[in-house]
Every structure is written in C-alpha cells, then in structure tokens.
Amino acid sequence: MTITSSSLRARRAASLLGGALSVLLASGASAQAVAPQPQGVLNLSATATVDVPKDWMMLVLSVAKEGSDANAVQNQLKVAVDSALVEARKQMKPGQLEVQTGAFSIFPRYNNKGVINGWQGSTEVQIQGRDMATIGQLTGKIASMTIANVSYSVSRETREKMEAEVTAMAIARFKAQAELQAKAFGYAGYSLREVSVAYEAPESGHPMPMRAMKMAMADAAPEMPVEAGKGSISATVSGSVQLK
C-alpha cells in the first residue's frame, strides 16, 4: 500500500492534536486535584445603628381648578401658584428654605355621553429646607394653595457625616466578633478575606391626613405645627475572615 505525503501529514497532525488534548486534560485534572478547598473560613456580619434627628422638611402645596374653558383653568392655576411663590420667595435662603414648582396637569372632563363638558387642572409648589419653623409658618400665609404632603428626612450633609461614624462603629464590631470567634475556635487570630458595607437611612415621612388638608383650605389657615422626630442610620459590615 502506498502512503502519500499528504496522508503522512494528516496522521502527524492528528497525533499532535491528540497529544495536546491529552496534556490539557491531564493538566486540568491535576489542577482540580491540587486546588485545596478553603479551610478555617468564617463568615461574619456586624451592624451598628445611631439615632439622628430628621433635619430636612419637604412641604408640598397643591391647588386644583376646573371650568368650561381650558385657558381659563390654566390661568387660575397660574394665579394661585404666583401668589404662593410671592410669599415663599420672601423667606428663600439656600439650604434653609428652597422653593420650586412641581407637577402640572390639565385634562378634559367628559359627560356620560363621552362629550367634553369642562376641564380640570392641578399643580404643585414644593417648599423644603432645614428652617422647619418658617416653612410651617408659610402654611398660614399662603391661602391660594392647600397642603398635599409633608415629609421629614435627614439632610445629605448630616447623613454623610453620620454614615462615616456608624461605619466605624460597625467595622469595630466586625473586628471584635472576628477576634472573639477565632479564639473560640482555638485559633490565634485571623486575616480579612473580603468585606462589604451596606447602609440603611430613615424613611422620608408620611402624607398629611385629609382633615389637615381641609383645614388649610380656609382663608385664614393656621400655621402647621412641626415635629420632625428622629430616624436611625444603620451600617452593616459583612464579609469573611481566614482563621489562623
């Protein structure tokens, strides 16, 4: 039987490929056999919490109008907002009392036959800041709009400051737990493998009840009492350590 040069080349290529696959399989099996499973690894979690006063207030004022003409309804909304802004802008101060307009909508009203018989519209003004007393007083000076929502939260500056403090507390607790657990298991100490930090801040607040909103609709609306209360900021440190 005659063996051509092309046949020889094909056989050599197949032989080399088979050898390479054998080496790869052998090295893979060897790596799996050699790679040790982690021993003496301990998973831990530590949480620290601090109470903090809510120092940021958000007041949302709203007004709704309706009528047979869309332009007339829009103009009534504008007049109400302009009146509110005149009062609010007198007290504006960055960080202490800030004002901005909010959502605006106007839509048709239909009768039972599906025909437009009028228009309805609403809009908002948002007043927020640290000067809660002045914000509360504005509710007694703005008669063109009513209270839609009031919420309290922790300002960004206070939250960032307290997060640094509570993180340090959580880390200290994590390290103390690791040291205690290492000794309890008969080890001399530990080394850190991996770690993560998560935060939890207080909720913003709550809507005003409907009764309070109706009271604010009177021409001589009373000033709104302000009591922000406290919230809590938590930091949780989670991770694993290698016992030594």
pLDDT tens per residue across span 55-78: 999 999 999 999 999 999 999 999
The residues of the chain scoring below 70 in pLDDT are 1-37, 202-222
**Hey, where are the domains in the chain?**
37-55+154-210+229-244, 56-153
**Nearest alpha carbon to residue 186 among 46, 42, 45, 44:** 42
Domain pair 37-55+154-210+229-244 / 56-153, same fold? no
Which residue is associated with the tokens 């009764």? 211
Q: How many C-beta atoms lie closer than 10 Å to residue 180's C-beta?
A: 10
Q: 56-153 is classed in which CATH architecture?
A: 2-Layer Sandwich (3.30)
Q: Which residues pair with 119 in a beta bridge?
A: 67, 108
Distance between CA 188 and CA 181 in Å, rounded?
Answer: 10
pLDDT tens per residue across span 100-136: 999 999 999 999 989 999 999 999 999 999 999 999 9
Domain 37-55+154-210+229-244 top-level CATH class: alpha beta
The tokens for 149 are 């929502």
Question: Given this model, what pLDDT does residue 186 score?
Answer: 92
Question: Given this model, what pLDDT does residue 199 score?
Answer: 85
**Quick check: 129 and 55 in contact, CB under 8 A?**
no
As a three-state string, the secondary structure of the chain is CCCCHHHHHHHHHHHHHHHHHHHHHHHHHHHHHHCCCCCCEEEEEEEEEEEEECCEEEEEEEEEEEECCHHHHHHHHHHHHHHHHHHHHCCCECCCEEEEEEEEEEEEEECCCCCEEEEEEEEEEEEEECCHHHHHHHCCCCCCCEEEEEEEECCHHHHHHHHHHHHHHHHHHHHHHHHHHHHHCCCCCEEEEEEEEEEECCCCEECCCHHHHHHCCCCCCCCCCCCCCEEEEEEEEEEEEEEC
* pTM attached to this predicted model: 0.67
Parallel, antiparallel, or unpaired: how do β-strands 190-200 and 230-243 relate? antiparallel
* Biggest CA pair distance of the chain: 115
Question: Given this model, what pLDDT does residue 208 score?
Answer: 45
Distance between CA 145 and CA 207 in Å, rounded?
Answer: 16
The tokens for 153 are 């939260």
| List of residues 6+ apart from 17 with CB closer than 8 A | none
